[in-house]
Structures are given as C-alpha cells and as structure tokens.
Amino acid sequence: MRKKIEDVPVITEEMMRKTLKKKWKHKKEPMIKKSFKCPICEVGTAEYSDSLCFDVVLGGEHIIIPNLSGHRCNACKEEFYDARSSKIVDRFAAEKIPTGHEATVSVAGGGRLGIYLPKDILRAMKIKAKEKVLITPVSKKKMIVELGA
C-alpha cells in the first residue's frame, strides 16, 4: 500500500535548526580542572594551569605557543595539555617536516656510496626516484641537499 503525500513526514527548517542547536550544544570539550597525581614522576601533583607554553624545535624552526591550558606537575614540571590546547599544538606541528632521522651510508657499487632516506622524509618532501639533487658540503660533518637542481 502506497502512502499518501500527506502521510509522509516533512522536516521543516525550524526542526533542522533545533536539531543543529542540540548537536552543537555538546561539542565543547569538558574542562577538567581537578588536580591529579603525576603519572610521570608519581611524586608530584598535576595542577590546572592556563599559562602553559609549548616550546619545541621542528623542521629547523623554533616554535613557541604560549597561553595553553592543561596541567603541570609541581614536582617534575611535566605538562599535560587539554583537548583544546592539544588541537592547537597539533595544527602547528602537522605543518612541519619531521627532522632528526638517521640514515646509514651504504656501498652502492663501483666505489660509490649511497644513503637510503627514511620513508617519512620521502613522503613529507614528496621525493621521487631519479629526482636530481644538488649536494653542497658545508663542513666535514654537514651537507645541504637541495631537490630539483
């Protein structure tokens, strides 16, 4: 048996607005300000703070993000960022290319040496096989490798 057009429920704009209000009402992350025992040192207490600072060197760039919220241990000074602050840190860190990877110099044959690059570097820098590079020695322990030379 087919339903009549009058029997089919219709969602109005007002109903949509109410649904969206309910949906976004619970979207905020809970702010936990309660202190807890530090899981790192197991001695101190992690107290809530809204003046935490993320300080790191990523991709050769010094990044400082002040005024983050979360908890800091009063003994070992370890910081634990809340969800909102973690999202801010992740957004800045995701843009940077990872550094500090190790590679081993290998014998390539014919008296030549080669270096196999880690997959993370290849993906992040979009390096393809047979791509030309320019290698510039800076000192006995450093060199600059430029792509697309």
76 is in which domain, residue-wise? 36-94
Q: Do 79 and 51 belong to one domain?
A: yes
pLDDT confidence of residue 98: 65
More confident of the two residues 100 and 7: 100
Number of structural domains (the chain) is 2
Q: Do 42 and 89 belong to one domain?
A: yes
Condensed to tens digits (0 to 9), the pLDDT of residues 81-105 reads: 998 899 988 887 776 766 677 888 8
Contact 147, 131 (CB under 8 A): yes
**CA angle, 39 then 44 then 58, to 5°:** 60
pLDDT confidence of residue 7: 60
How many alpha carbons lie under 13 Å from residue 63 in its C-beta half-sphere? 17
Q: Do 80 and 46 belong to one domain?
A: yes
- Distance CA(60)–CA(37), nearest Å, equals 35
Tell me whether residue 18 is in a domain: no
Condensed to tens digits (0 to 9), the pLDDT of residues 125-137 reads: 888 888 898 999 9
Tell me whether residue 3 is in a domain: no
Tell me whether residue 69 is in a domain: yes
Q: How many CB atoms lie within 10 A of CB 22?
A: 9
Q: What is the CATH number of the domain that holds 88?
A: 3.10.20.860
Q: Do 40 and 90 belong to one domain?
A: yes
